Structure 1
């Protein structure tokens, strides 16, 4: 899996910006996932107006207490063009506030189509511009090259699906190549080369590795294949993983793990101060490894 060559941005890379954000605000990535049930629990209508109130209230409450926010595009898209407009406003508001955004879109295609997806989210000035997006490599890692090129050119980032915990994922992700290497390990090698990290700087192409994959991350050799990439880790909180899974699953790479929390954080709403307090408590919990409160 060959990584592309492209001119680098003259400004700080996404990897360095992310590393600084984690140092300043902790490892929590706040998932902004406005499920219909959450909107109802907050006393909001399940429409674009409720979506907007939910999203902007969450952003304002957690800014400065999380390293990034991660809107799940599907929950905005289900409201049609009005919902997409809310997503665009959320991304712009986060940029104004200096909060990094990881847009969870899981794009994956080839050629001009992948280039168009990348332009929609990684091109400066795009109406749905984000700092990073999630992408799928399982049409072949080479399919990601247009996105890698654009990300590198503009100081943006990618998170490549590597090891997920959804049913049936192992059949693909643990499969072996003709040379006998686990496919997920080859994805990790690609991310390492494409992200261009170093001993003191994270790469700008990270991996998505679920916190509930048990020993797979190290057993399959992803830790050795990609020693500088940031790891976007869903599965914490409501899905069962907690602070103890950081060293258990990721070993020494735990320092590069971005702890994704959505329901465990958003359930503290609708009052902004309660959201702020929960974000701060979660930050302290995962920074220290101490469980001083429910794992939410």
Structure 2
């Protein structure tokens, strides 16, 4: 008699436990040409590989996960993508959660194919979660949502980003009178299956530099169990004070995404590890209602 299929643990719960154990820092593995130069590495696939694996080994156990930015690997073609595959596999072996920053968004079978590429167990570019764009209609993400929930994976949906001009779309009022970003947040909350003290598996991307928009528009009330991936800390200007100022009582669900603010401590692995530990303590101390195991 065959063994019953194992039901994978929900991504939201796995993420919540990782934050409780390791703190809220999500390490952005973004091999900018300038960072490679600062590490005295060539801007080649070989340089990418040394940069990526050194960073992973140095921060593992000191961050809640890593967030590789796919574009910095794709720009090197197939050799760069092979490095990304190796990084994701190495992180999986080490038990480090991965959020692949790919910002996919499409409809129908194409969205399904993107999901298969990144959320199917055994896929070469398998990650624990990916970033997605809902601005072809939140329902366009359904194939990715279905596959993610089936396999214990997660999504982070672009909601409030701080890039110039984003507000013209994200703050725009829908026929129901709410901001479009609020409708996105409600959809993420409804499909993410959080509740009763557990985080949902579909979170939101909210920039740490959006000032009061998160609470003023009502995203905090619309998505009370969704984890919040927050770029904008460190080199982009936000710091520990923005956890409370921007996210209010939702600050305990924020993943503090840091890339240059962390990786500038390299290439020395000990320096990277020390910096990751410093940041973990700094942001854990100021985050209200941080999750507990």
TM-score tier, shorter chain, comes to: over 0.9
Secondary structure, counterpart of 1:84 in structure 2: helix
Task: Determine the C-alpha separation between the residues in 2 that align with 1:128 and 1:11.
Answer: 19
Q: CA deviation digits over 1:232-262, x for unaligned, max 9?
A: 0000011111111101111110000000000
Residue 199 (structure 1) shift? 2.6
Q: Does 1:114 align with 2:114?
A: no
Secondary structure, counterpart of 2:245 in structure 1: helix
Counterpart residue number, 2:10: 13
**Match among 215, 228, 232 for residue 231 of structure 1:** 228
Q: Does 1:102 align with 2:91?
A: no
Residue 12 (structure 1) shift? 1.1
Residue 122 (structure 1) shift? 0.1
Query: For residues 168-179 of structure 1, what are the structure 2 equivalents within 5 Å?
Result: 168-179=165-176
Q: Does 1:213 align with 2:210?
A: yes
Counterpart residue number, 1:294: none
Query: For residues 155-166 of structure 1, what are the structure 2 equivalents within 5 Å?
Result: 155-166=152-163
Counterpart residue number, 1:257: 254
Structure 2: gaps spanning 5 or more residues: 1-5, 288-293
Task: Determine the C-alpha separation between the residues in 1 that align with 2:177 and 2:155.
Answer: 27
Q: CA deviation digits over 1:27-80, x for unaligned, max 9?
A: 000000000111111011110000000000000000000001000000000000
Counterpart residue number, 1:201: 198
Q: CA deviation digits over 1:10-30, x for unaligned, max 9?
A: 221000000000000000000
Query: For residues 73-88 of structure 1, what are the structure 2 equivalents within 5 Å?
Result: 73-88=70-85
Query: For residues 245-284 of structure 1, what are the structure 2 equivalents within 5 Å?
Result: 245-284=242-281
Counterpart residue number, 1:180: 177
Residue 217 (structure 1) shift? 0.2
Secondary structure, counterpart of 2:26 in structure 1: strand
CA RMSD of aligned residues (A): 0.9
Secondary structure, counterpart of 1:100 in structure 2: coil
Task: Determine the C-alpha separation between the residues in 2 that align with 1:78 and 1:286.
Answer: 33
Q: CA deviation digits over 1:160-191, x for unaligned, max 9?
A: 00000000000000001112111000000000
Number of residue pairs the alignment of both structures matches: 282
Secondary structure, counterpart of 1:286 in structure 2: helix
**Match among 117, 126, 141 for residue 129 of structure 1:** 126
Give 4+ residue runs of structure 1 displaced > 4 Å after superposition: none
Task: Determine the C-alpha separation between the residues in 2 that align with 1:37 and 1:179.
Answer: 45
Query: For residues 135-150 of structure 1, what are the structure 2 equivalents within 5 Å?
Result: 135-150=132-147
TM-score, structure 2 as length reference: 0.95
Task: Determine the C-alpha separation between the residues in 2 that align with 1:132 and 1:35.
Answer: 22
Counterpart residue number, 2:50: 53
Secondary structure, counterpart of 1:176 in structure 2: coil
Residue 267 (structure 1) shift? 0.3
TM-score, structure 1 as length reference: 0.94
Structure 1: gaps spanning 5 or more residues: 1-8, 291-296
Q: Does 1:29 align with 2:26?
A: yes
Task: Determine the C-alpha separation between the residues in 2 that align with 1:71 and 1:64.
Answer: 17
